[in-house]
Amino acid sequence: MRALDLKLFRDLWAMRGQVLAIAAVIMGGVATLVMSLSTYDSLVITRDRFYRDYRFADAFVNLKRAPESVAARLAAIPGVERVETRVRAGVKLEVEGFSDPITGLLFSLPEGAEPLLNTLHFKRGRWVQPDNADEVVVSDTFADAHRLNPGDKLSAIINGKRKALTIVGVAVSPEYVYQIAPGSMFPDFKRYGVLWMGRNALGAAYGMQGAFNNATVSLTPGTPVQDVIDRMDALLGTYGGTGAYARKDQFSNRFINEELNQLQITATIFPAIFLGVAAFLLNVVVGRLVALQREQIAILKAFGYSGLEIGGHYVKLVMLVVLLGVAGGVALGAWFGQGLSNVYMETTFRFPYLDYRLEAGVMLIALAVSAVAALSGTLFAVNRAIRLTPAEGMRAETPALYRATVFERIGLQRWLTQPTRMILRNIERRPVKSLLTVFGIACACGLMMVGNYQKGAIDFMVDVQFRQASREDLAVTFIEPTGSRALHELQAVPGIRHVEGFRDVPAILRFQHYSYRSAIYGIQPAGELHRSLNAALQPIRIPPDGVVLTDHLAREILHVKPGDLLTVEILEGSRPVRQVPVLGITKQYLGVSAYMQQDSLNALLREGNVVSGAYLGLDPGMESAVYAELHERPRVLGMIANAAAIKSFYATIGEFVLFYNMVASLLAGSIGFGVVYNSARLALSERGRELASLRVLGFTHGEIAYILLGELALLTLIAIPLGFLVGVGLCGILVLAFKNDLYRLPLIIEPSNYALGATVVVVSALVSGLLVWYRLGRLDLVAVLKTRE
């Protein structure tokens, strides 16, 4: 090994503590990068493979009813490759030992053949046998939530009639990787299930023999999907088609894509912070090393080493630190990535399998990004090493020039002891370094806050959504829109305290060239269960003869403001197109909707007092009785209980929250420790002689520790409020980045989250401080008498 390389390893060993601290910060950045990118890659690969292998359709449509012969006309649309027609039935389900209402969606399977599109991946069991009327395949989430297996029984109320079913298979469909009940806000595996049964059996039970009410198509490559959708709509309009939509608008697929989008953002923002901090740390550490090694560099140059060789020497040193960090980061990131992928698989996405991949490309990206960050951070210091002329290097460095600080110049000095002046002057002499240190510590605080932000934000969303806006205990939907007499029947059910009818209708909302497929909800203007909120989250009264839109829908999607005239294309009945004025904006974090007064919507639809369902307030303790009673009513199609949905949602996200908290604490801790420990060690290295001199002069261990650690304590204290700002800023970036029509995160940060951020900073500062305190006890007092800096 060359002598210079030997020096390299010895130097690294001598400053191993700092090397490890910096490597830990790089590791944090690389770990988040690798975790996010590898999970992203894995999910994309898995998704694409699953979609391809299980023939996920390109376009989807629901309709009222069309004879099977229409299928041929769909197939004849140019660009359509395959057509699959199905019967799709909303049902109520009954599982023994579970009394809450369960909503189900039942699809038909072709008799004696695999589906052409959206075919199933079986986890257990088999397909239904042809013409076997009581066999059913259930989705794995539902089966797992109820521990159902092939051979088990359940009942479904189809079209008002109870039907006993036998489970023969448990399967996953590309259409329902992410499952959520229509009208519900959160996935609830226990209370919502997707099932499949034979076409003939379902057709008979649902009154759809020889007909279909759902179709999916695949397209030949290169076909513009919108053209096909337009033709499908034209064809199916007379059959009660509610508007075809493309794969990109398919709910499960959209949710996956939003989640993947988040991962990409995570893969950008967080590594950037870590690697920026690492670059700063390397800059100061290598800068200090060069300063300490002035004489060595001068001697090497005097021996004839070129500037380039010496520069290369320090670059190598930096690269070794980077390699250490990247290696650790890749390992940690792969572990995190697998953990995150598993959490996704268990809680959110039901892919039948997961191809966890850590692509070599991801590792190369990590290495390249870290190397660039580290080298840009150290270039200045290395350049100084190269430029040093031998004669210059062998002279002692001139003492640093200090001056009185602002505090003293404004006349505060008489209250400052000399050690305190030393602290202030030292901070002020290197404002950039002090600022960067403060910023680095602040980043640790901010990162910790981001890691914990989600939980508080979700709590807030749930509170707004369920305790202020949708305050109903139960929402029931009727099989079809019905007269308001149904409400009186509900009112008569014991245990139902309050009933508010609503009318909802699917519609496409258009303004200029913007459009959005949604539903219009006609609600009670002075309802006490289901309310709209203004920006201050106060309930508002929906005005008559116009719509009130969710803020996101109005501003970001349709670009309308109150007073504009919206074109509404109703996707029901004769599909009328009407002009409706926008009358207001409402605040909503989950989903987007258009609201009208129920009367106004009825008028718009040229119908009488018709409702699609009702929001119910229940008497406490009467839930089960009401469920049981409503379950038996043939007109009631689905029931959604908010409390149960919230509970199951929290159970689901619990794992995510736990996982993110763990990752965030680990990473924020590593950054906090990396910055504080390095600052402390550098200060010790720069000022060890000064402090030892003071020890000789009679200062105690505690008194010199005050000078060194006081500076760090002051910087840490300044960093905490700044860290809060960084935290709020980072959460703000998340809020902006994750804004979509499915949900918008509120910028709400709980006090406990601030406390957590500050705690991480204080703890890492204390640990670093203790290590430095210990080192201060071992200062060599005798050496300072003899050596010069």
Partner 1 sequence: MDEASSCVSGAVSADVDRVHEHAVVGGCVFRARGLTKIYTMGEVEVPALRGIDLELAAGELVVLLGPSGSGKSTLLNILGGLDTPTSGEVWYLDHQLTGATEQDLTRFRREHVGFVFQFYNLIPSLTARENVAAVTEIAESPMRPEEALRMVGLGERLDHFPAQMSGGEQQRVAIARAIAKNPAVLLCDEPTGALDSQTGVVVLEALEKVNQTLGTLTVLITHNAGIADMANRVIRLSDGHIVDIRTNATKKAARELSW
Q: Which residues contact partner 1 by CB under 8 A?
A: 398-404, 417-419, 421-422, 425-426, 429, 689-690, 693-701, 703, 781-782, 784-789
| The two structure tokens encoding residue 726 | 């960084």
Closer of 492 and 697 to partner 1 (Cβ): 697
Q: How far is CA 324 from CA 20, 226, 331, 670, in A?
A: 8, 51, 11, 15
Q: How far is CA 215 from CA 68, 159, 229, 483, in A?
A: 10, 20, 12, 30
Closer of 398 and 579 to partner 1 (Cβ): 398
Q: Using CA atoms, how far apart are residues 182 and 27, in angstroms rounded to an integer? A: 43
Least distance to partner 1 from the beta carbon of 288, Å?
A: 16
Closer of 133 and 416 to partner 1 (Cβ): 416
Q: Which of 152, 140, 47 is nearest to 346 (CA)?
A: 140
Closer of 254 and 430 to partner 1 (Cβ): 430
- Would you say 490 and 614 are in contact if contact means Cβ atoms under 8 Å apart? yes
- Would you say 138 and 189 are in contact if contact means Cβ atoms under 8 Å apart? no
Least distance to partner 1 from the beta carbon of 421, Å?
A: 6
- Cβ of 236: how many Cβ atoms within 10 Å? 22
Least distance to partner 1 from the beta carbon of 719, Å?
A: 22
Least distance to partner 1 from the beta carbon of 436, Å?
A: 20
Least distance to partner 1 from the beta carbon of 456, Å?
A: 44
Closer of 10 and 701 to partner 1 (Cβ): 701
When computed from its CA atoms, the radius of gyration of the chain, rounded to whole angstroms, is 33
Q: Which of 567, 583, 578 is nearest to 604 (CA)?
A: 578
Strands 98-109 and 496-511: unpaired
Closer of 153 and 429 to partner 1 (Cβ): 429
Question: Where do we find the tokens 């490759």?
Answer: 81
Closer of 346 and 397 to partner 1 (Cβ): 397
Q: Using CA atoms, how far apart are residues 760 and 755, in angstroms rounded to an integer? A: 9
Closer of 6 and 783 to partner 1 (Cβ): 783
Least distance to partner 1 from the beta carbon of 292, Å?
A: 16
Q: Which of 595, 763, 744, 601 is nearest to 671 (CA)?
A: 763
Q: Using CA atoms, how far apart are residues 92 and 524, in angstroms rounded to an integer? A: 27
Least distance to partner 1 from the beta carbon of 707, Å?
A: 9
Consecutive H or E run containing 767: helix 751-776
Least distance to partner 1 from the beta carbon of 406, Å?
A: 15
Least distance to partner 1 from the beta carbon of 680, Å?
A: 17
| The two structure tokens encoding residue 2 | 């060359």
Least distance to partner 1 from the beta carbon of 400, Å?
A: 5
Least distance to partner 1 from the beta carbon of 417, Å?
A: 6
Biggest distance spanned by C-alpha atoms of the chain: 103
Closer of 425 and 531 to partner 1 (Cβ): 425
- Would you say 290 and 384 are in contact if contact means Cβ atoms under 8 Å apart? yes
Determine the residue type at 654: G
Least distance to partner 1 from the beta carbon of 703, Å?
A: 7
In sequence order, the β-bridge partners of residue 636 are 478
Consecutive H or E run containing 472: none
Closer of 370 and 405 to partner 1 (Cβ): 405
Closer of 222 and 399 to partner 1 (Cβ): 399
Least distance to partner 1 from the beta carbon of 685, Å?
A: 15
Closer of 700 and 752 to partner 1 (Cβ): 700
Closer of 389 and 417 to partner 1 (Cβ): 417
Sheet holding 245-246, edge to edge: 80-86, 211-219, 59-67, 245-246
Least distance to partner 1 from the beta carbon of 260, Å?
A: 53
CA 176 to chain centre: 20
Q: In 54-102, where does DSSP find H-type helix?
A: 70-75
Q: Using CA atoms, how far apart are residues 53 and 4, in angstroms rounded to an integer? A: 57
Closer of 330 and 422 to partner 1 (Cβ): 422
Determine the residue type at 648: S
Closer of 417 and 538 to partner 1 (Cβ): 417
Ramachandran angles phi, psi of 415, nearest 5°: -95, 0
Sign, Cα dihedral of 381, 383, 385, 391: negative
Least distance to partner 1 from the beta carbon of 392, Å?
A: 18
Closer of 335 and 402 to partner 1 (Cβ): 402
Q: Which of 743, 50, 30, 95 is nearest to 362 (CA)?
A: 30
Closer of 627 and 706 to partner 1 (Cβ): 706
Closer of 422 and 450 to partner 1 (Cβ): 422
Q: Using CA atoms, how far apart are residues 170 and 181, in angstroms rounded to an integer? A: 19
| The two structure tokens encoding residue 36 | 């996010």
Q: Using CA atoms, how far apart are residues 356 and 339, in angstroms rounded to an integer? A: 10
Axis crossing angle, helix 294-303 with helix 307-347, rounded to the nearest 10? 130
Strands 577-586 and 547-550: parallel
Q: How far is CA 634 from CA 87, 478, 519, 777, in A?
A: 19, 9, 24, 82
Q: Using CA atoms, how far apart are residues 29 and 268, in angstroms rounded to an integer? A: 10
**Vertex 121 angle, CA 169 and 262, to 5°:** 125
Least distance to partner 1 from the beta carbon of 713, Å?
A: 17
Q: How far apart are the first and last CA of the chain?
A: 31
Least distance to partner 1 from the beta carbon of 787, Å?
A: 7
Q: Which of 535, 3, 507 is nearest to 243 (CA)?
A: 507
Q: Which residues have a Cβ under 8 Å from the Cβ of 35 and sit 6 or more positions away? A: 333, 334, 336, 337, 340, 663
Least distance to partner 1 from the beta carbon of 424, Å?
A: 9
